[in-house]
Amino acid sequence: MRLMLDYHREKDFIVRQINSSETAELYGIENKSTIHVIDKELRIEILPTEIYHNYKTIKSNLENYLMDHGIVMQQEEDNSNSSTVPNVDSSLSDSETTILNKIVNLTHVVFQADLEKALKLSLTTEVFKNPEIEGESLQALRRYVAVVQKYSPLGAKGYDFFADLSNFINSSSDGIDGTAYKEKIHELENKTEIFDLHWVGCQGSAPNYRGYSCGLWTLFHYLTIRAANSIDDNDPIEVLSTIEKYVKHFFGCTECAIHFQEMAVERDMWNVTTTDQAILWLWKAHNIVNDRLSGDVTDDPLFPKIKFPSYRACQKCRSGFNFSENEVLLYLKDLYSDEKINNFGMESIDEDNVSR
């Protein structure tokens, strides 16, 4: 009943409570505690019931679902015309708040700054936690550096950095001292100055939201698409297997790493046979993670986790309640193409160039 009152002014959808057993049977509703979505063609989808712990969670997940399908709340539509972002954490710097104001109403955009910062953190903060890098961890790091060197978002400016780093981590068959690795990274950073130092598209509304996890997914998607666009005859799981090993040995969230390894097995990652399939495998994995974390304490209320891409960003990508994988593949290749990577936020770039 409370949901009906909350949404009674909405024009694009209505909320109704079904008490009649005849009506429930007509729509195939068996469990009274579920939420069913019925579209204009009378197609029915059941929202997951395991998430319904309280009213706030129910409302959050329902709104995420509606947003994911291109339905904007009336209140959100009114707020979208505002020039300032509501509910921004006071600990954010002025520059971070300025970035939020510029990106909050954008659909999906890939920013060069996010790719660079994610790449830097993946090679520094995560690896620096290891006092010794040896055995399988060393092999995982070597593979990761080789792949990011091959498909690097840094282009020509990163050539010397990766060439020197590759030589260093391949110089010993026994292992690498963690302190020596850290000193080498700092030496190369000072020598090349290639990495951007702040988030743009992955900026969260508070310091504990988005950031590295968002940037790392962005980087991983970028690598799968660069591999697919390569003229070389690549191993179709070259990037995916490298990601799996990197996450297993270096990603700071142990629970997340375990989930990713489980997905690799359960969703047959090792049986991917083309680089296009690799792109779609990672896209599906990302949406599974978004579903699992939607409404979680890590979910940024300003950028709620939804199925990607949103209906607003790619209407062709949807076929009823389902995705059209061919259209998603085309969309992702376009989104991550060199021509579409946005340079907003880079020091040498016009700060007003945020839209495509």
Q: For the residues of 84-115, what is the DSSP string, one character each? A: S-TT--TTS-HHHHHHHHHHTT--S--BHHHH
Q: For the residues of 226-278, what is the DSSP string, one character each? A: HHHH-SS---TTHHHHHHHHHHHHH-S-HHHHHHHHHHHHHTTGGG--SHHHH
Look at residue 51 in the predicted model and tell me its pLDDT. 45
Nearest to 216 by CA among 150, 153, 146: 153
In the 8-state DSSP scheme, what is residue 197?
A: -
CA atoms within 13 A on the CB side of 176: 28
Distance from C-alpha of 94 to C-alpha of 117, rounded to nearest angstrom: 19
CA atoms within 13 A on the CB side of 150: 20
Look at residue 1 in the predicted model and tell me its pLDDT. 54
Nearest to 261 by CA among 279, 240, 276, 275: 240
What CATH code is assigned to 93-356? 1.20.120.310
Q: For the residues of 285-322, what is the DSSP string, one character each? A: HHHHHHHHHTTSTTS-TTS----SS-TTT-GGGEETTE
Distance from C-alpha of 326 to C-alpha of 183, rounded to nearest angstrom: 46
Query: What element of type H or E holds 224?
Result: helix 212-229
Nearest to 272 by CA among 224, 222, 338, 321: 224
Look at residue 341 in the predicted model and tell me its pLDDT. 93
First-to-last alpha carbon distance for the chain, in angstroms, is 43
What size, in residues, is the chain?
356
Look at residue 176 in the predicted model and tell me its pLDDT. 93
Distance from C-alpha of 36 to C-alpha of 28, rounded to nearest angstrom: 10
Look at residue 84 in the predicted model and tell me its pLDDT. 54
148 token code pair: 């990011």
- Measured in degrees and rounded to the nearest 5, phi and psi for residue 95 equal -70, -35
- Tell if the pTM clears 0.85, that is, is over it: no
| CB burial of residue 26 (10 Å; 0-12, 13-18, 19+) | exposed
pLDDT digit of tens for each residue in the chain (356 aa)? Answer: 566 666 766 766 777 777 677 777 776 666 656 677 777 667 777 665 544 455 666 676 677 677 666 665 655 444 444 445 556 677 888 888 888 888 887 878 999 999 999 999 999 999 999 999 999 999 999 999 999 999 988 877 788 899 999 999 998 888 999 999 999 999 998 887 777 678 999 999 988 899 999 999 999 999 999 999 988 777 899 999 999 999 999 998 999 999 999 999 999 999 999 999 999 999 999 999 988 888 788 888 888 888 899 888 888 998 777 899 999 999 999 999 989 999 887 754 444 555 54
Query: What element of type H or E holds 279?
Result: helix 275-293
Report domain extents, the chain. Answer: 2-79, 93-356
| CB burial of residue 291 (10 Å; 0-12, 13-18, 19+) | middle
In the 8-state DSSP scheme, what is residue 18?
A: -
